[in-house]
Chains A and B, each alone.
Chain A
């Protein structure tokens, strides 16, 4: 999304803050400026950031209360998140980079990855998927007839939503 050409740095900051507050409030069911700590990932990512789980944990450590309550307060979250957006941390993953990543798992360069292989990589390596995440991904990604993932098609299906 294009940033607004503000009249100055203050305007830009104010605009970013408003965006963050909006995203935060979507998850603030009781309108009391707090959200469940488990929602922070959704909020950060829906603001266009691509943090890894490790980076997300670092960020959480900064916004949590000294004695974690399970809830995050907007006043703690806002300055940290504003800085993230201003610094453009957690940069987006371009589509071609994503494609290369799938290709790296497709050793024979045949355009697809078998279900077993994909499950093995994504649930055992890196920042492993939970069972639920894996099943959910496969529900869209897997071609049930061949039991493979044609990743080019899958990427285009998934990115078409992002307008």
Chain B
């Protein structure tokens, strides 16, 4: 056909050439664009990996603390000062049963100047609406009502079985929400999109209501209020953060103390009890098991259903029998965390685990069966475990507690109890949910922007009577204009790198000596490979160090890393400027600041924020010897003496420890 229109052939070939050029240009632009998007996706993913690795490393530290409490009890010369960690505090006697409501009404005055909501029991929907309205306007509920609400909640929870059975025949759909972590905006958004709880609109909240976010207290108040109004239609499962020792580290204790100066201690005491009465799991139509973490190869639902759940106030402290066992055979269950030097030689055994099942140590075979221990392990596993795609059940080495369970473990449990689906929470998911084990296991996570604005969506599940799940995703945004992907990744990345740099700085001396081992000629420079290996051996975060290198350390033109450059622009704050404090000591205090804060808070029985110099230095010595830290006792004594400003023999440890954190010297610049 082309030959018949010869004259046009010439001009069309010009047009062809032009369009060919345009097509080539389009391909090039498309290629380049997909490349930049891929790089962006990589940055987003490694940023989330950084957040998650640091979070799990922190959880490991937290679980290690329980070992230390045991150690402390064995070595403390004044056992009275710590033994109360292990015995139920006098809360239940203090705030016992029945009289609660009227007692608080008599004892605690609500002044006329209080303009927040006033509750009257039994609660009605009107009260719940008043609470929602008040919290949207950032009001506080008066301590009297909080305490009354908690008493009532405990009374109702006590009536409930460990495992709640629901049926979809009463309503069309049941909504299941995962971790909220003090993010009130997420809860309000869920209610806005999905409606308030009612007889027709049933909910299951799957644990981790508190910690991390700013409004844990408000979330609890709303959930408990609806629980009292609709005890058959709103259900709560306990999460691993409904635990007072976890709350000491992750912010809820601080939140309560700050919001309720006079009655904070009472509220916290009562909450310990309320948390311990939260049901452990929910089963819908005998087919769908809902619990916070997961299962292990020993999970026994009948046993879990029969145990006395409120005995376990905190999973962070194993029952006394574990302690006794440790006492008898220290080599079997080590109490100490291996020092990093040992860890370097033996990466496989990088931390000690608190885990019941699948552990390399079949502890059960040596020990006489102990009901308390079994109860603790059973609950630990369902609140802390994560699913994995490999078969089997292995200790959860990232978190340090619970286990990883494979599809075979899920299948076995399903067969035994004739189940169809497991819905669990406990793990951050960028999309708010994830499906694993061939559709049998669903993770639901309801806290959006968990690590940083824009880091993830939240989601909830609508389960219909056919037990088909439908996912609803959402994301709370404080920006009026939606950020584009590039801006969002920028925000997430800089925040992730900031936390990582702080972590790096807190390990400065260990890293420096690890680098030096590769720097045989003392040039201050090592290869990228050696740098990456040194970073991983010390920090053990399993991060893509080679990829992160350009963000963390400077490379010379010859391709070698100037290793000290990763410490530039950072320093550790200190309370006392004039006294010369040993750098190694400052680093130790910085690194274990959170642990020490929790330990001192536990020792400080009357929550005064003060402990004696003697208690301080004795605990410090125990702690450092437990961890195998080479610390100069004399210099800590000197340091502590110097902060006893009024020389009354007591120090404000919170204020003292608060000072030891990593400071970014160029903070202003980075934030602009």
State the A residues within 8 Å of B (CB): 1-5, 15, 18-19, 22-23, 25-27, 30-32, 41-46, 49-53, 93, 97-98, 100-102, 104-105, 121-122, 125-129, 133, 136-137, 139-140, 158, 161-163
**Shortest CB distance B615–A (Å):** 43
Give complex CA distance A156, B550 in Å: 20
> Which residues of chain B come closer than 8 Å to A133, judged between CB atoms?
33-34, 37
Taking A4-B528, A22-B545, A23-B544 as contacts, is the C-beta distance between A122 and B30 under 8 angstroms?
Answer: yes
Q: Which residues of B contact A15 (CB under 8 A)?
A: 528-529
A3 to chain B, nearest CB (A): 7
- CB < 8 Å: which of B29, B485, B546, B555 contacts A136? B485
Pairwise interchain contact B35-A163, C-beta atoms closer than 8 A? no
B46 engages A26 (CB within 8 Å):
yes
Beyond the given pairs A2-B557, A127-B30, 6 more chain A to chain B contacts, judged by CB atoms under 8 angstroms and listed by A's residue number, are A26-B42, A26-B544, A30-B389, A50-B35, A133-B34, A137-B33
Alpha-carbon distance between A26 and B541 when the two chains are bound, in angstroms: 12
B38 and A46 form a contact (CB under 8 A)? yes
Residue in B27, B38, B558, B559 with the greatest tally of chain A CB atoms within 10 Å: B38
Please determine whether A50 and B546 come into contact, CB atoms closer than 8 angstroms.
no
Please, how many angstroms separate the alpha-carbon atoms of A56 and B188 in the complex?
Answer: 44
Offer 7 A-B interface pairs, CB within 8 angstroms, sorted by A.
Answer: A42-B41, A45-B38, A45-B39, A101-B24, A122-B29, A136-B37, A158-B486
Which 9 A-B pairs rank lowest in CB-CB distance, beginning with the nearest?
A45-B38, A46-B42, A126-B26, A126-B27, A22-B544, A104-B25, A101-B25, A139-B484, A125-B26
Q: Which residue of B is nearest A157, CB measured?
A: B486
Q: How far is the CB of B454 from chain A (nearest CB, A)?
A: 14
Would you give the shortest CB distance from A128 to chain B, in whole angstroms? 8
What residues of chain B lie closer than 8 Å to A1, measured between beta carbons?
Answer: 550
Q: A15-B529, A22-B544, A139-B484 are in contact. Are A126 and B30 (CB under 8 A)?
A: yes
B629 within 8 A of A: no
Query: Which one of B30, B37, B45 lies within 8 Å of A27 (CB-CB)?
Result: B45
Range class of the B interface residue count: 35 or more
A23 touches B37 (CB 8 A): no
CA distance A1 to B548 in the complex (A): 12
> CA A42 – CA B560 in complex, angstroms?
27
Contact partner, A102, options B25, B35, B559, Cβ 8 Å: B25
Q: How far is the CA of A1 from the CA of B26 in the complex (A)?
A: 27
Shortest CB–CB separation between residue A69 and chain B, in angstroms?
A: 12
Identify A45's interface contact among B35, B486, B545, CB under 8 A. B35
At the interface, is chain B mostly helix, strand, loop or mixed?
A: helix
Given that A2-B559, A5-B559 are contacting pairs, would A22 and B546 also be in contact in the complex, using a CB cutoff of 8 Å? Answer: yes
CB distance from A77 to the nearest CB of B (A): 15
Query: Does the CB pair B29–A42 fall under 8 Å?
Result: no
CB nearest neighbor in B for A106 = B25
Q: Are A126 and B23 in contact (CB under 8 A)?
A: yes
For A31, what are the chain B residues with a Cβ–Cβ distance below 8 Å?
388
Q: Given that A3-B559, A27-B45, A50-B31 are known contacts, is A121 also in contact with B26, CB under 8 Å in the complex?
A: yes
**Contact B26–A122 (Cβ < 8 Å):** yes
B506 to A: closest C-beta gap in Å: 23
Report the minimal beta-carbon distance from B198 to chain A, rounded to whole angstroms.
37
The 8 A CB mask of B3-34 against A (1 = contact, 0 = none) is 00000000000000000011111111111111
Q: How far is the CA of A101 from the CA of B42 in the complex (A)?
A: 26
What is the CB-to-nearest-CB distance from A126 to chain B, in angstroms, rounded to a whole number? Answer: 4
Instruction: State whether A93 touches B389 (Cβ < 8 A).
Output: no
CA distance A17 to B527 in the complex (A): 16
CB distance from A36 to the nearest CB of B (A): 12
A93 touches which one: B32, B544, B555 (CB < 8 A)?
A: B32
Q: Are B39 and A127 in contact (CB under 8 A)?
A: no
Q: Are A125 and B485 in contact (CB under 8 A)?
A: no
What residue in chain A is nearest B48 (Cβ atoms)?
A26
**Would you call B547 an interface residue if the criterion is a C-beta within 8 Å of the partner chain's C-beta atoms?**
yes
Closest to A103 in B: B25
Most chain B Cβ neighbours within 10 Å, of A15, A32, A49, A104? A104
CA distance A35 to B545 in the complex (A): 19
A104 to B24, CA, bound (A): 9
Chain B proximity of A62: nearest CB distance (Å): 19
Query: When chains A and B are docked, how far (Å) is the Cα of A129 from the Cα of B30?
Result: 7
The reply to whether the CB of B532 lies closer than 8 angstroms to some CB of chain A is yes
- A105 in contact with B46 (CB, 8 Å): no
Q: Mark B549-591, 1 if CB is under 8 A from A, else 0.
A: 0110001011110000000000000000000000000000000
Known: A26-B544, A30-B389, A158-B36. A102 touches B29 (CB 8 A): yes
B367 to chain A minimum Cβ distance, whole angstroms, is 31
In this assembly, does B49 line the interface, its C-beta being within 8 Å of a C-beta of chain A?
yes
B38 CB contacts on chain A under 8 angstroms: 41-46
Q: Is B390 an interface residue (CB 8 A)?
A: yes
Q: In the complex the two chains form, is B37's CB within 8 Å of A162's CB? A: no
Name the CB-closest residue of B to A93: B32
With a cutoff of 8 Å between Cβ atoms, the chain B residues found around residue A140 in the complex are: 484, 486
Q: Are A127 and B27 in contact (CB under 8 A)?
A: yes
Q: Which of B36, B527, B542, B550 contacts A163 (CB 8 A)?
A: B550
Pair B49/A26 contact, Cβ less than 8 Å? yes
Answer whether A161 and B486 are a contact pair too, CB < 8 Å, given A22-B545, A23-B42, A32-B388. yes
Distance between A8 CB and nearest chain B CB, rounded to angstroms: 14
Kindly provide the distance from the CB of A7 to the nearest chain B CB, expressed in whole angstroms: 10
A45 to B35, CA, bound (A): 6
Q: Given known contacts A104-B25, A126-B23, A133-B33, is B42 in contact with A4 (CB within 8 Å)?
A: no
Chain B residues with CB under 8 A of A2: 555, 557, 559
**Chain A positions within 8 Å of B490 at CB level:** 161
Q: Which residues of B contact A53 (CB under 8 A)?
A: 30-31, 34
A61 to B518, CA, bound (A): 41
B37, B49, B390: most-surrounded residue (chain A CB, <10 A): B37
B550 (CB) vs chain A CBs: closest residue: A163
Contact A105 B25 (CB under 8 A): yes
Contacts of B45 in A (CB 8 A): 26-27, 42
Chain B 40-82 per-residue mask, 1 if CB under 8 angstroms from chain A, else 0: 1110011001000000000000000000000000000000000
Residue of A18, A25, A51, A102 near B529 (CB, 8 A) is A18
B389 engages A105 (CB within 8 Å): no
Are B26 and A19 closer than 8 Å at their CB atoms?
A: no
- Taking a contact as CB atoms under 8 Å apart, the answer to whether B28 and A101 are in contact is yes
Tell me the bound Cα distance from A65 to B320 in angstroms.
52
B546 A42 Cβ-Cβ under 8 A: no
Question: B37 touching A101 by the CB < 8 A rule?
Answer: no
